[in-house]
Chain A
Amino acid sequence: MIEEVKLSPKDFKSDQEVRWCAGCGDHAVLNAVHKSMADLNLPKEKYVVISGIGCSSRFPYYMNTYAMHSIHGRAAAISSGVKVANPDLNVWMITGDGDCMAIGGNHFIHVVRRNIDINILLLNNQIYGLTKGQYSPTSLEGQVTKTSPYGTIEPPFHPGELVIGAQGKFFARSIDNNVKLCAQIFTEAAQFKGTSVVEVLQNCVIYNDKAHGYLTDKAHKDDRQLILEHGKPMIYGKNQDKGIIIDGFQLKTVTIGENGITKDDILVHDAYTKNPIMHLMIANMSQPEFPVALGIIRQVQTDTYEEKLEQQIKQVQSKSSIKSMKDLLYSGNTWEV
């Protein structure tokens, strides 16, 4: 049993000055993480925060926990080592779109596939910020950046699609300006047993300002964001009169009260179903046809890698006659001289 402790968000703040640009979405995410960790009631020494390289990867320095700011793209592998070595630790990985899906793409899909219990916060600002404005694997096709002066000619990755393609069990999406939603999802992700990936739509105020402006625009945000809850119908809109239905093999937006549509026709979100097809469609809903889904899209509980490893070790140990190095040295063919 892990003892329960009462801590406040400020207990998780380190003494280091936060050096992100004023107005950067990372500040809000940091606050949400501090709040979420306090809400989890775990002793501070149980948290380990691992990051790679990039603006968001400076995160560990601002945490008053065990933490490591590692090398570009490798946070998933380092986090895996920490968690497998000591499953008792609560491991968080902070990464960005470039760190996670370009240089670290291989480690990312494999940590998801293995289902190691790590909480991955993927801060997606669709740009390389620390190197000052080059396109990333999530930059939109046609986006003009310093390395795509005539517009990118690459189709972007959609993190949700990648996670589900790698047999991911937990995928959620949040947005930096909604600290409450972020903290709530981070807490759920931390409590989930297995790899959880939370894509945080994050604004880079310097190199890709308002990349998510369509969603954050105060006048329209309620019509453009669908906040999911398991077991609840997918209803959104300023007047709570819009919803998602399934039409053949496609999702479709409808207005309740029009064309005979009632509340009962609206699709009810099931985050727990194993079949990922619907989760994939929900994750891929994009503007302007659809609202963008926020909240927990997929949450399917199954055994974690480290649980299976511990079980296997116990099982082998119960059957083997080799209990120490000495036993091993004398096992098999030996002879006396």
Chain B
Amino acid sequence: MTDNKEQIKELEEVVIRFSGDSGDGMQLTGMLFSDTSALLGNDLATFPDYPAEIRAPQGTVGGVSGFQVHFGHSEVNTPGDYADVLVAMNPAALKANTKWIKKGGTIIIDIDSFTDKNIEKAGCVKEPLDQMSFRDYNIIKAPISTLTRESLKDLNLDPKSILRSKNMFALGMVYWLFHRPLEFTQKFFEAKFKKIPIVVEANKIVLKAGYYYAETIEALHPSYSVAPARIDKGTYRNINGNIATAWGLIAAAEKAKLNLFIGSYPITPATEILQELSKRKDLGVKSFQAEDEIAGICTAIGASFAGHLAVTTTSGPGLSLKTEAIGLAIITELPLVIVNVQRGGPSTGLPTKTEQSDLMQALYGRHGESPLVVIAASTPSNCFKYAYEAGRIAVEHMTPVILLTDGFLANGSEPWKIPDMDLLPDINAPIVKEGTEDFQPYRRLNEDMLRGWAIPGTKGLEHRLGGLEKMAVTGTVSYVPENHQVMTYERERKINQVVNSIPDVTVLGEQEGELLLIGWGGTYGHLYTAYRELTKAGHKIGFAHFNYIKPLPANTHDVLKRYKKLLVCELNLGQFANYLRLNFQDLEFFQYNKIQGLPFTIIELKQEILKILEEK
């Protein structure tokens, strides 16, 4: 007899993809698995992949909703390229995901859903399973619908509610496969359905039924175990990019001793930030769901004038609508944070997919000479840090700041070591105090060129702001030609001075030599993993990732010039590469670009890097 222990295989890392109809509850299933794994101490990264339509026609490929989780006992930086395990609740889900399964991977399907009708709906000419080689995959045909129905037959539940819990059967199977405990998920049911005990019970029964089914059938042996990751000591929680962004903004307001105001209009994939901040009335956040994108930013500008830390959140098309108002914030020199959660464009483009194609819009998409600060987050959890930074720079430098995140960061989640509020940098708002003598709205307070923030309601500081060009110092309307040039330089210099309050860019790996891999924003996890794997394999490369885009860190040129080859990888046609070319005309850049609405894969990045390395 074999010892049970021998059947448990220790794995470094695993990628699981849950997929089904958009109504099958795959996002919840994936989230529950992630939370349980995080509690066990695994490092992980997740990525939901869902259709733009809320309920696309049932059973079609267009309606497939997926959730990928990558967990491991070493550092995990991406949701993973290819899945070790695919859960496919219907033929469409199998069809949509076949190319994302590793050779030799396990596929769990609900065989009950593989009816002729569903196969036809999925657009398959013949039974999709027949087309797959069983030698390539470990396919488990589980009668999930039947067994779910069977296990709940004693409960007085309607057939619809019964079938709705079949995702928990699949989750139960996956829990057994990876030796996860059920307690956390059971507790989740108890909290979530507190008022409907029968639903709590039904979900618990089905979860266990799936777990025991997996234990019973031979097909799943051996099962796998992934040991906890070796990560820093501290208190952790899971967080996604949008929530981290919202929280970073609240933290900045608290630290600056300002009230937070958000004026926004719902837009995918940024809406969750507005939703979260609307919830945070407990922390005094004033949220204003405006009638359109323009009103979103304009109410924020009004709130900023009135002395709040003001924020507007959007995605690409919304940023386009806000551009005129950004010009007003620039000339009035008011603090403002504009969050752009990038998605595939142009126009409505790919609303639920990720891209980095709004960089040029953020940098230059305005009329007139209108500089502002652009920064970018690079992981779901560091959206907190960079939202905080956006707030800090906006307030301390009296300027609008565009924070770029993207659909991948916004929806992706990872465990996050909770920061200590006391250790976050101070934020000092340059508020002009009552009684200040000879107050002038556009007098520059220091080398950073900032003007004072005189807030309505303060006695003796009454002044007029506006979109017309300002006279230097006094801020009155001026059409004097030379003054316009002076003010244009002052606004440009003010933004360039921000360089003194941002850190240098750091290089991982080789500090000089053959090749520097360069990225910015949301591609960090993929680029870092590719860099790490190549380095492990003995290749000598450096890796620099940019969070501060305008202005660039002070040491940027010094770093770049130390390498023979510079390779910029980004999810657009080369916007950051072109920006670097513009700034550093003595340097040459290679570029690798992908525009599919999807993140990079590690495999393609490694191939590209090796190709450039070998090129003479």
Q: Are A324 and B291 in contact (CB-based, < 8 A)?
A: no
With A and B bound together, what is the CA distance between A80 and B263 in angstroms?
Answer: 10
14 A-B Cβ contacts within 8 A?
A60-B464, A68-B332, A68-B466, A74-B325, A81-B300, A83-B302, A89-B306, A110-B295, A325-B251, A328-B280, A333-B237, A337-B41, A337-B234, A337-B235
A332 touches B (CB below 8 Å): yes
B157 touches A (CB below 8 Å): no
Q: Are A325 and B254 in contact (CB-based, < 8 A)?
A: yes
Q: Are B477 and A61 in contact (CB-based, < 8 A)?
A: yes
Given the interface pairs A333-B238, A337-B236, the reply to whether A77 lies near B302 with Cβ below 8 Å is yes
Q: Are A61 and B466 in contact (CB-based, < 8 A)?
A: yes
Q: Are B288 and A84 in contact (CB-based, < 8 A)?
A: yes
Q: Are A322 and B283 in contact (CB-based, < 8 A)?
A: yes
Residue B421 contacts which of A45, A317, A326 (CB distance < 8 angstroms)?
Answer: A326
A63 CB to nearest B CB, Å? 7
Contact with B along A293-334 (1 / 0, CB 8 A): 000000000000000010011001101101111101110111
B478 CB to nearest A CB, Å? 11
A58 CB to nearest B CB, Å? 9
Residues of A58-95 contacting chain B, CB below 8 A: 60-61, 63-71, 74, 76-86, 88-89
B585 CB to nearest A CB, Å? 36
A178 touches B (CB below 8 Å): no
With A and B bound together, what is the CA distance between A44 and B456 in angstroms?
Answer: 10
With A and B bound together, what is the CA distance between A76 and B41 in angstroms?
Answer: 51
| List of B residues within 8 angstroms of A78 by Cβ | 298-299, 301-302, 305
Residues of B460-489 contacting chain A, CB below 8 A: 460-468, 476-477
Q: Are A43 and B459 in contact (CB-based, < 8 A)?
A: yes
B18 touches A (CB below 8 Å): no
Q: Which 4 A-B pairs have the closest CB atoms?
A: A81-B302, A69-B466, A77-B298, A320-B282
Contact with A along B433-462 (1 / 0, CB 8 A): 000000000000000000000001111111
A107 touches B (CB below 8 Å): yes
B160 touches A (CB below 8 Å): no
A195 CB to nearest B CB, Å? 14
Given the interface pairs A45-B456, A81-B300, A85-B306, the reply to whether A70 lies near B236 with Cβ below 8 Å is no
Given the interface pairs A70-B298, A71-B467, the reply to whether A45 lies near B458 with Cβ below 8 Å is yes
Residue B299 contacts which of A84, A89, A320, A337 (CB distance < 8 angstroms)?
Answer: A84
With A and B bound together, what is the CA distance between A256 and B404 in angstroms?
Answer: 71
With A and B bound together, what is the CA distance between A216 and B284 in angstroms?
Answer: 51
Most chain B beta carbons < 10 A, residue from A80, A325, A328:
A325
| List of A residues within 8 angstroms of B41 by Cβ | 335, 337
**Interface set of B (CB-CB < 8 Å, partner A):** 35, 38-39, 41, 231-238, 247, 250-251, 254, 259, 261, 263, 280-284, 286, 288, 290-292, 294-295, 298-308, 310, 324-325, 327-328, 332, 417-419, 421, 456-468, 476-477
Given the interface pairs A86-B456, A110-B291, the reply to whether A67 lies near B464 with Cβ below 8 Å is yes
Q: Are B291 and A106 in contact (CB-based, < 8 A)?
A: yes
Chain B residue with minimal CB distance to A334? B237
Residue A81 contacts which of B39, B251, B263, B467 (CB distance < 8 angstroms)?
Answer: B263
Given the interface pairs A45-B457, A337-B41, the reply to whether A81 lies near B288 with Cβ below 8 Å is yes
Q: Are A337 and B306 in contact (CB-based, < 8 A)?
A: no
Residue B283 contacts which of A66, A67, A86, A328 (CB distance < 8 angstroms)?
Answer: A328
| List of A residues within 8 angstroms of B250 by Cβ | 325, 328
A14 touches B (CB below 8 Å): yes
A323 CB to nearest B CB, Å? 8
With A and B bound together, what is the CA distance between A334 and B235 in angstroms?
Answer: 7
Chain B residue with minimal CB distance to A63? B464
Chain A residue with minimal CB distance to B465? A68
Q: Are A70 and B283 in contact (CB-based, < 8 A)?
A: no
A16 touches B (CB below 8 Å): yes
Q: Are B294 and A70 in contact (CB-based, < 8 A)?
A: no
Most chain A beta carbons < 10 A, residue from B261, B303, B466:
B466
